[in-house]
Structure 1
Amino acid sequence: MTLVYSFFDVFTSPSSFFHRIKYGDHKGRWIFLLLTLSIFALYYSFYSVIDSEWLVQKQLAEIQDLPASQQEELARIFRNLAEYAGWLGTFLSSTAMLVAVALLSLFYMYMDSSDERKSYEQWFSFTLWTQAPTIISTLIFMIILFTIPEQDFRPELINYASVSQLLGIQEESGYLYLIGNSFSVFYIWSIVLATIGIRIWANATWLKSLLIAVTPYIVYVVSQIIMV
C-alpha cells in the first residue's frame, strides 16, 4: 500500500483503511513527515506575511493587567523579537501540534480495552493519520494566501475554516466566539476519522468511540475558556 494510495484511502474509505493498517504497514514515518512539513509550511507562510506590529499588539493585549512600566519593557522585548517571529512561531506551533499528537496517542492507548492492545507506536501512527485533514487545510490556506490581494489579507484567515469564521460569529460574542474559533471543519473531520478508527482498533461501540475521539477536543476548548 503506497503512501499516495493510503493518503487518498483515509479520506475516501476510512473504515477499510483503518482495517488495513491495523495489522499491516501504517506508513507512520511518512505521514509524520508529511504532517510536520504541512504544519511548518502553514505557520511559516502565515508569519512571513503577517504584520509584526499586529503580533506585538496582540501580545500586549494579553498583559493589560500588568503595571505600565512592565508593559513598556515587555513591549520593547516583543518588538526586538518580532523579526524572529516567523521562525519562532513556526517552531512553537509545530512543536505544540506534535505534543498534542503524542498526548492523543497516549490517551487512545489508555482507553483501548480490546483483547489485542496496540503498542504506543501503533497508536501514534494511528493518531497521525487521523490528523491527515490538517494537510488538506494547509493546502487550501496556501492557495488563499497566494491568491488573495495583499490589502485583503487578515490575520484571522489562518482560522478560515473555524466555526466562528464560517458562521460569522464576531469576537464580541465572547465565549461563543472562542468556542467556535477552537473548532474548525478540519478538527471535526479529524474527530470523525478518529471515531471510525477507534471503533475498529479498540473494538468499541460507535458511542464509546465518539466519546473517546471528542473528549480531548472538549478538554482543549474548556482549557481555552478557563485561560481567558
Structure 2
Amino acid sequence: MKISAPTALEPDSVQLDRAANDASDHQCPGKSAGRPRAADKQARLDSLLQTAACLFLEKGYSKVSLEMIAREAHVAVRTIYVKFGGKAGLLNAVIAEGRARFFAGMSSMDTDTRPMEEVLADFGLRFLGLVSAPAFVKLHRMVIAEAHTTPELAITFNQAGPQQTREQLSRFFARPEIKAQLRTQVPHEALAVHLINCLLGDQLSRVLFAADTPPTAEENQRRVAQGLDLFLNGVRGPARD
C-alpha cells in the first residue's frame, strides 16, 4: 500500500510548533499595543493562543500565570476567564488548535467514504506528524515533569489530545461498513488503542530520551506502513466469499 504524506503537514502549519520556535528565541508574540480596535476577532484570538503556547513551552505550565499571559498578549485577565474559564481551559484551547491544524484538510473519519486502508494511512501520517513535532515533544515532556504536582495539567492534556484521538478512532471503527471488515470480538475502543500502539511503537522513549530531531517525512511514511500492516493483519476479519 503506497502512503503519501498529506499536504497539511507543512512545518509551520501548527500553532504549537510556531510557539515552540518563538519560545526557543525567548520572544513571545503578543498583540501590538497599537492594534486597531476593529481588528479581526479571530486574529486576536490566534495571537492570545500563540502567546499562551509560547509561555507554557518556555517557562512550564505551573510557572505561567494568567496575569503573565494577559500582559504579554495585551488582553485583560477577565477576557481569558470569560473565553476559556481559566488557565486549564486556555491550555485546552491551545492543544485543540494545534491538533486541529494537523488534521485540517482531512475528511471527517465519521463520514469519509475512502477505503479503510486509505483513511487509516491518512490519519497515521498526520498523527505521527503531530506527535513528533518539536512543540509536541516539549509539551509531552512538560506534562510528564509536572503531572505529579499539577494534576490539572495532565487531565487537560489527556482530554484535549489523547482522549480526542481515541474517540475519533473508536467512532471510525464503530461504523457498520468498517466494523464488518474487522474481527467481531474486538471492541472498537480496543481497536483504537491497538492502532495507536502500532503506529507509535517506542515513541514515548524517543520523546523522553532521544535527541530533539524530528523524523523525516520518509521515516514517518515507513513507520505508518509498518504500523498499519501490523494492525490490519491482526484485526482484519476473515475473507468473505
TM-score w.r.t. length of structure 1: 0.36
Of Structure 1 and Structure 2, the greater helix share is in 1
